[in-house]
Each structure stands twice: as structure tokens, then as C-alpha cells.
Structure 1
């Protein structure tokens, strides 16, 4: 099992093997189902979200990566959302940490374990992500002692996978709605706040992190 904090793709040079191609396709399919589950929750369709989460959870085991694609797609979606926000956040503005703390304060169980693990990974990769010392200290308080090398998704049993994926879909939707420019209105029911990272207006044209 890889100890990477997220799946980064199987291609390491040259054309992908058949196993790599199948792995990538399976993870992409699980990611698409997860994203649709988040969208269903945004529209208030709990039943549809639950069905989609179950379909993602039922994706067959990935022998190449040694993972269950559904839980890992959910795990990666949260990681990608938050790291994209960090990279686009204005230099010297620490309010993204406040958003993460707010999410953790309202979370419990699986969601809280994921957020603590996320904080541990962000702290570990602080230099790579442009996280400063002040932010790293705040992240340290959020970890709850979580080990960045111990993946919450790896601990999910077969009977828990569908519920786990659904819980992370709820968390990702909450994160989408919590992050954003200060003063930006909350999205209307059925809408998702998914800003284009390349749109300077999202951050008022503020300088990005290096």
C-alpha cells in the first residue's frame, strides 16, 4: 500500500500498462459517481445521493493501487478541494484556516477523522503548499494527533464503505459552501459553489501563493 496522501496517477513514464489504464479508469469512474453524489446532496436529493455513493463504494478493488476506489475517490476529492483553495488564497490571508476549523468544529466520527488527517497532511506538506509557520501551527492543533501516513480510507470495512462515501460527500459539500471569498453569499438551494481557480475575480485579484 502506498503511503501517499492522495492518489497521484499510475503513469511513471512511457505508455501506461493495461493494469495502469484499468486502475485509472476505475478511479475516474468512482470520482465521477462521488461528484454526482455531492451534486445530489446540493439539490436536496438524499435518496439519489445515497444510491450514487453506494455505486461508488461498490467499484471493484483496485489491485494495481491496492485500494477501494470509492472511499479513495472521496478522500481525494476533499484533499483536492482544500489544497486548491490554499494555493489560490491571497498571501498573508489566514482565513482559510478559520474555514477549516469551522468545518472541524461541526464534524464528528468519519468526517472529523478525515479532517484531522487532512490537517496532518497539510502540515506535513506545508512548504510544498506555501503554508506559512502561523498556519502550520494552527494545523498542528487541528490534527488531534492524526498520523498523515495512516489513511482513514484504508480503515473502512466492506459494510461501512457506502456510508463512508456518503458522509464524505456531505463533508465536501459543506467545504465547498464554507470556502469562498469573504462576504460572498451562500449558494442558493440546488447550487454548488465551485469557483474557477483561474478566475482572478474569485479572490478580488489578490496575489496568489508562490
Structure 2
């Protein structure tokens, strides 16, 4: 049995409980809405992006996972973007860490906190993700002391969730652009 930085507890074999299935469905819906925020930003439609960010931020608290689905889905989308990129690169290719460091040098505030946390999570889960020791050491430095178990989104008040989701969507676009350069 293993645990994940993004799922509340151990995953056992068999079908999920009804409560877990409802939670997963809610998080999936929030993830789909978050991708619409990212898509609107990519097209330059700031008004639509803000409306969609507000909509995803209004999703009710998930008692099973003990998270707000909107910010949690945005947070997970960043993790997934990076880990998907890592899987596509050769084992010894650490240019993706350069991309993370570059984006970290261009952002501040909550976006930088999120990147530090992401680096901490990737460092913590490096063995499970197939991340080499050199990359893991660089991630630890990039984390700047962030705690992998203390997600920065937990400190964001409920009335700021829409802005936070929008900030993470902007961060995803920046990361996506740098990571696409790495894959090219």
C-alpha cells in the first residue's frame, strides 16, 4: 500500500466507496473547469478566464479529501504537467528542472510558493516518479525549504479562491510553454 502527496490516504484494491467516487467525480469536474480557465487565458479571453476561475472556485468543499476542489484541481494540474513531461524525456535529461527554475525566477507571491511546493513534492516523490538523484537534489534546492505536506493553497481564504485559481492557470501556461521548449 502506498500513499501519495495528492490523495488523502492509502489506495486499496477494489472499487472506490460511494463517498470516494463522488469525491473523485467532483475533483474531475473541477479539473475540467480549470482546463477551461487555462484555455481561455491561452486565447487571451481574460473575462471568460476570470468567470470560469470563479465558477471552479465556487465548487463546494470536498469532505472526503478535505480540500476545495477548484484550487486542488489547479494544483494537481501543475503536478501532472510536470510529471507527464518527465515521463517523455530520457532518464538522464534534467532540462525540465531548468524549465521549472526559469519559471520560478520569473514569478513571485503565491505562484512562487506553488512552484516551491511543487518542487518539494517532486523531490519527496522522486523515487516513485523515477526522478534521478541529481534531479532530486536540484528539486530540493528549488523547493527553498518548502514542506511537501503543507500546500500553500491551504492558506488562501475562500473568497480569494477565484484569484488563486486564475494565478495557477497563468502559472500553468508559463510552465507549459517552457516545458514544450524542453520537449522540442
- The alignment's TM-score, normalised by the length of structure 2, stands at 0.91
Give the Cα separation in 2 of the matches to 1:90 and 1:33.
Answer: 32
Question: CA RMSD for the aligned pairs?
Answer: 2.0
The answer to whether the 8 A contact 2:36-2:49 is kept is: yes
Aligned equivalent of 1:18? 18
Paired residues, number: 182
Aligned equivalent of 2:49? 49
Matches within 5 A, 1:122-201: 122-182=122-182, 184=184
- Matched residue SS, 2:92: coil
- Matched residue SS, 2:91: coil
The answer to whether the 8 A contact 1:6-1:75 is kept is: no
Aligned equivalent of 1:39? 39
Shift in alpha-carbon separation, 1:142–1:80, aligned structure 2, 3 A: same
- Matched residue SS, 1:63: coil
Aligned equivalent of 1:77? 77
Shift in alpha-carbon separation, 1:77–1:179, aligned structure 2, 3 A: same
The answer to whether the 8 A contact 2:57-2:165 is kept is: yes
Give the Cα separation in 2 of the matches to 1:80 and 1:183.
Answer: 15
- The alignment's TM-score, normalised by the length of structure 1, stands at 0.80
Give the Cα separation in 2 of the matches to 1:147 and 1:110.
Answer: 15
Which has more helix, going by share of residues? 2
Q: Deviations over 1:159-186 (max 9, x none)?
A: 11110000000011111111125584xx
- Matched residue SS, 2:114: helix
Shift of 1:7: 3.3
- Out of 77-86 and 131-140, give the one that drifted further: 131-140
Give the Cα separation in 1 of the matches to 2:54 and 2:183.
Answer: 36
In the alignment, structure 2 segments of 5+ residues that lack a partner are none
Shift in alpha-carbon separation, 1:135–1:159, aligned structure 2, 3 A: same
The answer to whether the 8 A contact 1:111-1:171 is kept is: yes
Based on CA coordinates, which of the two structures has the bigger radius of gyration? 1
The answer to whether the 8 A contact 1:78-1:172 is kept is: yes
